[in-house]
Amino acid sequence: METILPFIQEHAQYAHWLVFGLLMLAGLNFPVSEDLLIVISGVLASTLVPENTWKLFLAVFLGAYLSDWMVYWIGRLWGAHLWRIRWFARMFKPKRLEQIKQYYKKYGLLTLMVGRFIPFGVRNCLFATAGMGKMRFRKFLIGDGVACIVSNATLFTIAYFCGKNCSYFVRYVNVTIFVIFIVALIGFICYKKSKRISSTD
């Protein structure tokens, strides 16, 4: 990413195409940070190419959303056969996929919607597991679409209005989003448990 980011900045007029392409690669688990690309796009929109603001936002949204579809269909079409591919077996650990499968059974679509906000390699596991579990594609589109537009719009807007403080946000925004949604998830789990306990009394 250290070499890619300066290249994007130097070719800011075409950044929306570069960002879209990189996000599609991120869907294939190339070492590209989706969140960092969204932040960079917001900063470029507020500083170097304000005339391309909507192009940049559409690039980050469509790049993230369509790459999710790719991972879903890879999981759905090839399923367990994927572990014959060394690259896949290394990137998608069976233990992690099994944990996510249990979350889907327990919390359903909420797993997908909350998990969409968690970086650090969790997202692609979520999408692959949804495909392997034969989740209805329409259901996947809706759940992931809502989460994708909310997360991308939030991150892009923050970066846009704080473009001059780019270095601060690149460093801390992922951690902030991760903490917020972990807290939300814990709160939801506690609520479900307390509701279950009250119903047994």
DSSP string, 91-123: HS-HHHHHHHHHHHHHHTHHHHHHHTT-TTTHH
What is the rounded CA–CA span in Å between residue 74 and residue 36?
A: 25
Across the 201 residues of the chain, what is the mean pLDDT of every consecutive 10-residue run? 64 87 84 84 88 93 93 80 63 70 78 74 78 85 89 89 62 61 70 62 53
Whether residue 185 contacts residue 114, with contact meaning beta carbons closer than 8 Å, is answered with yes
What is the rounded CA–CA span in Å between residue 123 and residue 116?
A: 6
pLDDT at 34: 86
Number of domains in the chain: 1
What is the rounded CA–CA span in Å between residue 151 and residue 156?
A: 8
Tokens 């807007």, residue located = 157
pLDDT at 62: 95
For the purposes of burial, counting CB atoms within 10 Å of the CB of 9, is it exposed (0-12), middle (13-18) or buried (19 or more)?
middle
Q: To which H or E segment does residue 190 belong?
A: helix 166-200
pLDDT at 25: 87
Domain membership of residue 83 as a residue range: 4-200
> Residue 85: CA atoms inside 13 Å, Cβ hemisphere, count?
11
What is the rounded CA–CA span in Å between residue 172 and residue 86?
A: 33
Tokens 């075409």, residue located = 14
pLDDT at 14: 86
